[in-house]
Chain A
Amino acid sequence: MHELSLVEGMMDIVRESASQNNIKRVTRVKMVIGELTMALPDSLQFAFSALSQDELFRGAELEIVQLSVICHCEECGNDFRPEDDYIFRCPGCGNGQVIISQGHELYLDSYEGDEASGPS
């Protein structure tokens, strides 16, 4: 459900950057999402295709990189992947004070586009 707002927010950032960089057409956008955000790639793609109808984005592709959850144990320093049911507890020493070091990501990595020809 929140995919639409995420894609809208992402496109606003690209739009602003494109105008600063004199880019008239965006061909590819790469975003990174962590597993814990529960953002669904299909819904993101759908939102992107629905919203990318203007001149800047028409025909652009969305690349989505998904990152799984990795935890870091504050007690013994172990890095581990929690099991299927998200047990945020160190399998090495059993400590529950763990930091989720990967899985929260929600960022726009980069985009590609064509510059406007001639002076802008």
Chain B
Amino acid sequence: MVQVNLQTNILGANELIARKNRVSFKSQGILVINLMSSPGSGKTTILERTIERLGEQVKIAVIEGDLYTDRDAQRIEQKGVQVIQINTEGTCHLDAGMVTSAYEKIDKADLDLLFIENVGNLVCPAEFDLGEDFRVVVISTTEGNDKIPKYPLIFHEAKAVLVNKVDLLPYTEFNLQECQEDLEKINPSAQVFPLSGRTGEGIEIWCEWLLGEVRAKGRNS
């Protein structure tokens, strides 16, 4: 009998590819955002609103992660931006290798901002670095307040948290102040943007912040 000590990171292969992705994103000066949430929290609608608001100032492309369909990709395409679809065929998260292949298909000329819309899931995507500059997590008022303490990792690692569907606040038990307090405990440096993809409320403030991030990235590369 032999014992072999490895002490090897199980996600090491993914992290190696993610590092390579990060280098290619940086060399092109493109800000890359990994957008994550549970299913149905409104990631695609927020992307539509964001493209409407920023599309003339910023050249945007989207990598759409979806289990089987291209429904989200079709919606984004109608907004006139480049979309590359990844079907994960049942896998519950995107990994760095999938993003590498999708990125190769993108026309990078003048591109400023690349969104990677991850598969709707608060657990698994948190483990997989894609090479992004930072993560943005969407939580919606209809999901209830307990999502944040229940899935701390994904919220701890987000640079910004979008609290969607604030137009429905009067019809839910969701408490916006409690949500902000929970985020303060888990991730005090997160930027929190209450907004509504449906009515457009709060989109302006989020987009202004985002524009600042895009410009900062452009300057630094």
| B-binding residues in A (CB < 8 A) | 1-2, 5-6, 9-10, 12-14, 17-18, 21, 23, 27, 31, 36-38, 85-89, 96-97, 100, 106-115
On chain B, the residues within 8 Å of A2 by CB distance are 92-93, 123-124, 127
Contact A111 B153 (CB under 8 A): no
A97 CA / B186 CA spacing, docked (Å): 10
Residues of chain B in range 1-41 having any CB-CB distance to chain A below 8 Å: 1-14
* CA distance in complex: A85, B184 (Å): 13
* 5 further interface pairs, Cβ-Cβ under 8 Å (given A1-B121, A6-B127, A113-B2): A5-B124, A13-B12, A36-B153, A107-B8, A108-B10
Find out whether the CB atom of B186 lies under 8 angstroms from the CB atom of A87: yes
The smallest C-beta distance from B179 to any residue of chain A, in angstroms, reads: 13
- Flag if B5 contacts A107 (CB, 8 Å): no
Which residue of B is nearest A115, CB measured? B2
Q: Does B71 contact A (CB under 8 A)?
A: no
Asked if B188 CB lies within 8 Å of chain A CBs, one says yes
A87–B182 CA distance with the chains assembled, in angstroms: 8
Smallest beta-carbon distance B66→chain A, Å: 16
Given A5-B91, A86-B152, A100-B156, is A109 in contact with B9 using a C-beta cutoff of 8 Å?
A: no
- Contact across chains for A1 and B92 when beta carbons are under 8 A apart: yes
B interface residues, tally (CB under 8 Å):
33
B149 touches A85 (CB 8 A): yes
Most central of A21, A88, A106, A115 by chain B CB within 10 Å: A88
Q: Which residue of B2, B11, B14, B151 is within 8 Å of A114 (Cβ)?
A: B2
The reply to whether B10 and A111 form a contact with Cβ atoms under 8 Å apart is no
Closest Cβ–Cβ distance, residue A105 to chain B (whole Å): 9
Closest 7 pairs between A and B when the two form their complex, measured CB to CB: A2-B124, A96-B188, A86-B152, A1-B92, A85-B149, A87-B185, A110-B5
The residue in chain B whose Cβ has the minimal distance to the Cβ of A22 is B2
Q: Is the pair B10, A88 in contact by a Cβ cutoff of 8 Å?
A: no
- Which of B1, B7, B153 contacts A27 (CB under 8 A)? B1
Which A residues lie within 8 Å of B152 (CB)?
Answer: 36, 86, 88
* Chain B residues within 8 Å of A6, by CB: 10-11, 127
Determine which of B3, B11, B187 lies in contact with A88 in the assembled complex, contact meaning CB atoms within 8 Å.
B187
**Subset of 26 A-B contacts with CB under 8 Å:** A1-B124, A2-B92, A21-B2, A21-B4, A31-B10, A36-B152, A36-B153, A38-B123, A86-B149, A86-B152, A86-B156, A86-B186, A87-B186, A89-B188, A96-B185, A96-B189, A100-B156, A106-B10, A106-B11, A107-B10, A108-B7, A108-B8, A110-B4, A110-B5, A113-B4, A115-B2
A112–B182 alpha-carbon span in the complex (Å): 44
Chain B residues with CB under 8 A of A1: 92, 121, 123-124
| Nearest Cβ on chain B to A22's Cβ, whole angstroms | 9
- A39 CB to closest chain B CB (Å) equals 8
